[in-house]
Structure formats: C-alpha cells, structure tokens
Structure 1
Amino acid sequence: MAEFESPIVMPKLITFLSSLLQRAAESNDINQSHQSQKISVFHGLSRPSISIQSYLERIFKYASCSPSCYIVAYVYLDRFTQRQPALPINSFNVHRLLITSVMIAAKFMDDLYYNNACYAQVGGISTTEMNFLEVDFLFGLGFNLNVTPTTFYKYCSYLERGMMMLQPQINMSESSLYMGISSKLHLSFNEDESSQSHHQQQQLAV
C-alpha cells in the first residue's frame, strides 16, 4: 500500500487519469457534430473553468477516499461509456461524471466514506444535484458495481504502463499498483466480467 500511496506514485496516477479523460473529452468534442449525442443531467451549460487534472486533484485532496477508488471509478466510467454510447465523455459532462464515479466507488470500496453533501461541496455542485447524478449514473451502469480482482488487476496494469511512459525513471515493479492495494478489495467474483475488461480499457484511452 505504501508504494501506491507514496508522494510520487499517487500524483502520477492522478495526472495519467486526467490525461486519459482529457483526450477522451477533446476527441468527443470534435466528433460531437458528427454523432447523435443526448443531453443529460451530467451536462453543464458551459465548460467548467477548472481543468480536469485540477478537479481530480481537488477530489483527491478533500474526499479522502482510498487509492483503489480511483481505479474502480475509472472502471465505472469505462462501463458507463459502453452502456451509454449516446452520452460520451466530453468537456461539458466530464467533471460531473468524475465526481459521481469516485463517490460511488468510495461507497462500494471503503468502509468509511463521506456522504453526498460532502462530495457535492468538493465537486462544487448542490447536494440535490449530487443526488440526481448518483441515481442517473447507477442506472446508466445498470447497477453493475462489482469489479473482480482479475478486472481490477488488468486495469491497474494498463494504468501502470501509461504511468511508466510518463516517467520511466520511476522504478515500479510489474503489477505494483494491484499488489499495493489488493488487500483492501471487498470484491466478489464475476467470471463474465473478466472477458470484457480488455475491450473496456480501450474505450477511454482515445
């Protein structure tokens, strides 16, 4: 756990996750005029002034959820985009999708977590809106919150490879993200899910 939560590794994960979401949002912004896209409760009237990375850093600073939540939140975002192709991640919805996915991951993963009002304050939205976002996200996922250890490991490996490309001089052994936090997983097995995980990983890495 210590290696994953070190002052070097955790900010690196935040940076890489932010870059993935930024690329996905920018790509979908460009393609928006060529695709059929719905407007949802996740869409703001304008692009937020805060960057995706600064927003994720704010969540990391104030939400106090475990590091594993950020991996699971990424899994949830990937599943959401698969199940809701008419609601791709873009600059108008990425911030609300992000705060909602992290909050739900914290509720699923952590024994102790902040309530919706606290996450609303962290995310800069009202508690009422946070409640609506949670419900819509859960329905968008089909309430599929289970993440198998196999799927978790594959996502960790994918993210770790990307992090190593950012700063290859940082010496991290293979699967160190997974090994560092696997003892905190409160997960059950779902064999059907593991066969889909590789395809899901590619969707946000635009």
Structure 2
Amino acid sequence: MAELENPNVMSKMIMFLSSLLQRVAESNDLNRLFQPQKISVFHGLTRPSISIRSYLERILKYANCSPSCFIVAYVYLDRFAQRQPSLPITTFNVHRLLITSVLVAAKFMDDMYYNNAYYAKVGGISTIEMNFLEVDFLFGLGFQLNVTPNTFHTYCSYLQTEMMLQPPLSIADSSLSIGSSLKAHSCYNDEDESSHQKQQLAV
C-alpha cells in the first residue's frame, strides 16, 4: 500500500505494533507462571534492556527493507503464534522473534536485502545465533512464507483501522495471543499455505 511509504504512517504503525506486542508479551509472561512452556532458541536468559518500540525503530532505521516487510513480518508472527502454541511471545523472546521475522520477510519480499551478519548487528546478536534463529523460525512456520495480496491487504487494513480507532495503549484484550486476536478478523488465510518459496532464502 502506498500509505506505507509515508514516514508518519510507518512511525505510527511501529508505535502501535510495539504497544500490541508489549501487552501480549507481558500477558504471556504471567501465563507462563501457571502453564508449562517450551524454551527455544528465541529465549534470552534475561529481558533485553531495549524496549520493544526502540528495537522496532532501530530495525526500521537500519534494515532498509521495504515498508511492506513489516506487514509481512507481522503475518509471520501471527502464523508462528498459531502454529507454535507452546512457544508464546514473551518479553524474553519477542526481540529475537522480531528481528528474525523481518529478516525472513525481507529475504522473501525484497529483490535486494542485507545478509544475516548485518541483521545480527542490527539485532544485537551474533551471526551464528541469527542463522540458528532463521532456521528455527522457518521450521516453526512450516516454511509457509507466501502471503497473498488479499491476506496482506487484510492485515494492513486491520492495523490501519485499529490505529485510527484506538490509541496504542488501549488495544484489544492483552490476554490473547497475536494469533488469537487476529483470528476474529479472519486474517489467517489457508490459501497462503502454498509451497511457493524463494531460492534466495539460503544464508
């Protein structure tokens, strides 16, 4: 969508996404005290000191990927949350999930993109760790990377509508995962479960 090229729109979208992810992550932090959850390569031993918003703004500033990649990354996070219910988004893994989802989206969407070593520096992790995160994320998605125009438009419209209707701090029920909160909007589309892949995904 052309609106995404507007820096003000992207800035507001980053602010809304970070607020949504913060609420979801903090809610899941509470749930993990009562429900057993798997520990994955995305989990850090401690919570990163950088906020989710600042981290997303850093990725936006230095990744130089197309604005559409952030919508596609959001689609991927939704799919990951639905396909991996035992690995909910928390404050211990959200940063690694974000940098990985944008990396994979950029490789799939853009003709030109930075390599894993560059994204590792942007994300504040090692290249080896970035490589492992990418592989685990791809398997977590079942390598279902294709996003149809209809699904892209649905996610984009959902975000734009939510941004207009409510401020970032009064988003939908934070007890829901991203996947659950979007299911009501029929954002997840089975037609995206295609075998279409890009050869340039290799590190």
**TM-score category by the smaller chain?**
0.7 to 0.9
**Counterparts of 1:197 and 1:40 in 2: how far apart (Å)?**
29
Would you identify which runs of 4 or more consecutive aligned residues in structure 1 move more than 6 Å? none
- Which blocks of at least 5 consecutive residues in structure 2 are unaligned? 168-182, 190-203
TM-aligned CA distance change 1:142 to 1:148, over 3 Å: same
Q: Which amino acid aligns with 1:113?
A: Y
Which string of whole-angstrom CA distances, capped at 9 and with x for unpartnered residues, describes residues 97-156 of structure 1?
A: 000000000000000000000000000000000000000000000000011111111101
CA contact (8 A) 1:70 1:105 kept: yes
Q: Tell me the TM-score normalized by structure 1.
A: 0.80
Which string of whole-angstrom CA distances, capped at 9 and with x for unpartnered residues, describes residues 67-102 of structure 1?
A: 000000000000001111110000000000000000
Corresponding residue number in structure 1 for 2:147: 147
Corresponding residue number in structure 2 for 1:162: 162
Corresponding residue number in structure 2 for 1:12: 12
Corresponding residue number in structure 2 for 1:36: 36
Which string of whole-angstrom CA distances, capped at 9 and with x for unpartnered residues, describes residues 3-36 of structure 1?
A: 3222311100111111111111011011111212
Q: Which amino acid aligns with 2:155?
A: Y
**Counterparts of 1:95 and 1:7 in 2: how far apart (Å)?**
22
Within a 5 Å distance, the mapping from 1:36-75 to structure 2 comes to: 36-75=36-75
Pairing partner for 1:198 from 163, 186, 195? 186
CA contact (8 A) 1:48 1:92 kept: yes
Within a 5 Å distance, the mapping from 1:18-29 to structure 2 comes to: 18-29=18-29
Corresponding residue number in structure 2 for 1:192: none
Aligned-residue identity in percent: 75
RMSD: 1.8
SS for the counterpart of 1:98 is: helix
TM-aligned CA distance change 1:128 to 1:122, over 3 Å: same
Q: Tell me the TM-score normalized by structure 2.
A: 0.81
Corresponding residue number in structure 1 for 2:116: 116
**Counterparts of 1:199 and 1:75 in 2: how far apart (Å)?**
8
**Counterparts of 1:82 and 1:150 in 2: how far apart (Å)?**
19
Pairs aligned (count): 174
TM-superposed CA distance for 1:163, in Å, is 1.4
- Which blocks of at least 5 consecutive residues in structure 1 are unaligned? 168-194, 202-206
Within a 5 Å distance, the mapping from 1:166-185 to structure 2 comes to: 166=166
Mean CA deviation greater in 14-23 or 86-95:
14-23
**Counterparts of 1:37 and 1:199 in 2: how far apart (Å)?**
26
Corresponding residue number in structure 1 for 2:174: none
Mean CA deviation greater in 118-127 or 147-156:
147-156
Which string of whole-angstrom CA distances, capped at 9 and with x for unpartnered residues, describes residues 156-187 of structure 1?
A: 111001111356xxxxxxxxxxxxxxxxxxxx
CA contact (8 A) 2:120 2:126 kept: yes
SS for the counterpart of 2:32 is: helix
SS for the counterpart of 1:4 is: helix
